[in-house]
């Protein structure tokens, strides 16, 4: 009887367990390990914004130069030629000699010209006597008027022949017409020379010319009479004055030829020396900023990122004037612009940011660290 009762209880327990079990709370032994992670902190708009460091830059006077390759050139080149044919009996110069206007550099033999001049002088004297006699006879009515006209013509012809003979005597001397340096002597004593044949070459080095080419973008900064600095490849520096600006550009290079001149009384500046011409641009206002501040936009333009009055990042294109080891002189920004100097490479164009003026922070290192850590407090 007892055994049958126990069996009935066990049957009831196992049959009813599925209906009772869902209502019995089970002990979670891993409750501490299975703690649910708290939902993320709901960030405010300010917490989500990037913090950048900004700085306002002041403009300063800036003077830049246009540096172009140049070459020195003699202001004059002369080949002195003989006007006569004859034997060279004297050469007074050699290469490298300095000459002055009027210096006799070579001389031709004068024997035949001297006798021709004497004959011409005698012919003038005879023509003068004949003219006077004819004039008297015409006045007396012995001769016709046309005889006097013919006598005057003969006299003038004799004078012309004498002048020509005297000119030939003068042209026996090959004379320098300029101040300069002899670069070549083409004749020698005892040689024969023909009319028009070169005897000596001379270059004038005072003043010395400077030739250069300036791009079409910069030619507007060059003016006649403007002073430029010229530095020779050998290190010497001198000042020259612009004397010529080409009215048209070179078709191939799109550059304009310019010429300048400089005094060179001692001929210390030689012909054909490579140089750099430094042409000053008109004075302008520019900003000196750190090179690390510069960025490029999607078009490849160089510029800076700024924070506008609405705390939005903008790109401003700049013109780079000059760079040094760390800084850069630029134009294109304004005095009141908040230029991003820390975090600029992470500040996307058109995005809102929090701007902190780094110049007002006492500890610059702490300020930069806070900005890089994006600390918005």
Mean pLDDT over each residue of the chain, to the nearest integer? 82
Is it the case that residue 331 has pLDDT exceeding 50? yes
Tell me: do 275 and 296 sit in the same domain. Answer: no
Assess contact for 131 and 154: CB atoms under 8 A: yes
Residue 270 belongs to domain spanning: 67-74+201-280
- Shared domain for 214 and 259, answered yes or no, is yes
Q: What pLDDT does 16 receive?
A: 45
Q: What is the pLDDT of residue 109?
A: 83
Helices 145-170, 111-139: crossing angle, 10 deg rounding:
160
Q: How far apart are CA 241 and CA 254, in angstroms?
A: 23
What is the length of the chain? Answer: 377
Q: Is residue 96 part of a domain?
A: no
Q: Nearest 10 degrees: CA dihedral of 348, 354, 357, 358?
A: -70
- Does one domain contain both 251 and 327? no
Residue 224 within any structural domain of the chain: yes
Q: Is residue 292 part of a domain?
A: yes
User: In a 10 Å sphere around its CB, with 0-12 CB exposed, 13-18 middle and 19+ buried, how is residue 275 labelled?
Assistant: buried
CA dist 78 and 198 (Å) reads 10
Question: Does the CA dihedral 290-300-56-282 come out positive or negative?
Answer: positive
Which pLDDT does position 95 carry in this prediction? 95
pLDDT of 42 reads 33
pLDDT of residue 373: 57
231, β-bridge pairs = 237, 276
The residues that bridge with 78 in the sheet, in sequence order, are 202
Is 268 a domain residue?
Answer: yes
First to last CA, the chain: 83
If asked whether residues 266 and 308 sit together in one domain, one would say no
Same domain, 271 and 311: no
Please report, for the domain that includes residue 244, its CATH number. Answer: 2.40.30.170
Give the pLDDT confidence score for residue 349 in this predicted structure.
93
How many angstroms separate the CA atoms of 165 and 158, rounded?
11
pLDDT at 356 over 50: yes
In a domain, 104, yes or no: no
Pair 368, 358: CB distance under 8 Å: yes
Percentage of the chain with pLDDT > 90? 55
Is 359 inside any structural domain? yes
CB-based contact 65:321 (threshold 8 Å): no
**Dist CA 86 CA 84 (whole Å):** 6
Whether residue 276 is found in the same domain as residue 290: no
* Residue at 12 is within a domain: no
pLDDT at 37 over 60: no
Q: pLDDT tens digit string along 196-235?
A: 999 999 999 999 999 999 999 999 999 999 999 999 999 9
HEC string of 280-343 equals ECCCEEEEEEEHHHCEECCCCCEEEEEECCCCEEEEEECEEEEECCCEEEEECCCCCCEEEEEC
Pick the range with the lowest mean pLDDT from 62-71, 251-260, 327-336, 361-370: 361-370
142: Cβ contacts below 8 Å, ≥ 6 apart: none
Least trusted range by pLDDT, from 5-14, 95-104, 188-197, 317-326:
5-14
Final residue before a domain boundary, out of 232, 255, 280: 280
Determine the average pLDDT of the residues in 286-310. Answer: 94
β-pair type (180-185, 338-342): unpaired
**Token pair of 352, please?**
């809102």
Q: How many domains does the chain have?
A: 3
* pLDDT for residue 105 is more than 60: yes
> Tokens in use for 216?
């079409």
Write the CATH number for 363. Answer: 2.40.420.20
Q: How far apart are CA 318 and CA 102, in angstroms?
A: 61
Q: Which residue has the tokens 């209502």?
A: 23
291 and 368 co-located in one domain: yes
The edge-to-edge listing of strands for the beta sheet with 192-193 is 173-175, 104-108, 86-91, 192-193
Report yes or no on 219 lying in a domain. Answer: yes
Does residue 321 share a domain with residue 273? no
- CATH number, position 124: 1.10.287
Same domain, residue pair 156 and 137: yes
Is the full-model pTM beyond 0.85? no
Q: Do 219 and 232 fall into the same domain? A: yes
Q: Which residue has the higher pLDDT, 126 or 242?
A: 242
User: How far is residue 260's CA from residue 244's CA, in Å, rounded to a whole number?
Assistant: 7
């Amino acid at each position: 009887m007892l055994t049958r009762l126990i069996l009935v209880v066990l049957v009831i327990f196992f049959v009813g367990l599925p209906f009772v079990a869902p209502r019995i709370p089970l002990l979670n032994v891993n409750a501490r390990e299975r703690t649910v992670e708290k939902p993320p902190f709901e960030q405010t708009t300010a917490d989500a914004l990037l913090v950048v460091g900004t700085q306002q830059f002041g403009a300063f006077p800036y003077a830049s130069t246009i540096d172009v390759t140049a070459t020195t050139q003699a202001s004059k080149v002369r080949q002195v030629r003989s006007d006569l044919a004859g034997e060279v009996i004297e050469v007074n110069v050699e290469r490298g000699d300095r000459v002055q206007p009027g210096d006799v550099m070579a001389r031709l033999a004068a024997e035949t010209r001297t006798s021709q001049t004497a004959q011409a002088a005698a012919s003038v004297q005879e023509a003068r006597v004949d003219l006077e006699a004819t004039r008297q006879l015409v006045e007396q009515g012995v001769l016709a008027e046309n005889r006097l006209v013919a006598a005057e013509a003969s006299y003038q012809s004799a004078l012309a022949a004498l002048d020509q003979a005297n000119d030939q005597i003068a042209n026996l001397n090959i004379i320098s017409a300029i101040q300069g340096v002899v670069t070549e002597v083409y004749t020698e004593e005892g040689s024969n020379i023909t009319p028009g044949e070169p005897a000596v070459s001379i270059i004038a080095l005072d003043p010395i010319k400077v030739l250069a080419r300036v791009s079409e973008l910069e030619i507007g900064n060059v003016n006649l009479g403007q002073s430029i600095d010229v530095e020779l490849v050998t290190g010497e520096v001198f000042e020259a004055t612009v004397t010529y600006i080409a009215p048209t550009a070179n078709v191939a290079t799109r550059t304009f030829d310019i010429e300048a001149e400089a005094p060179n009384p001692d001929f210390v500046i030689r012909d054909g020396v490579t140089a750099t011409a430094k042409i000053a641009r008109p004075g302008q206002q520019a900003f000196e900023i750190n090179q690390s501040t510069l960025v490029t936009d999607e078009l490849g333009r160089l510029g800076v990122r700024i924070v506008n009055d609405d705390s939005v990042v903008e790109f401003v294109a700049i013109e780079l004037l000059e760079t040094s080891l760390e800084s850069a002189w630029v134009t294109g920004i304004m005095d009141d612009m908040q230029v991003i100097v820390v975090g600029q490479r992470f500040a996307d164009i058109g995005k809102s940011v929090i701007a902190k003026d780094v110049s007002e922070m006492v500890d610059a290192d702490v300020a930069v660290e806070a900005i890089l850590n994006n600390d918005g407090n």
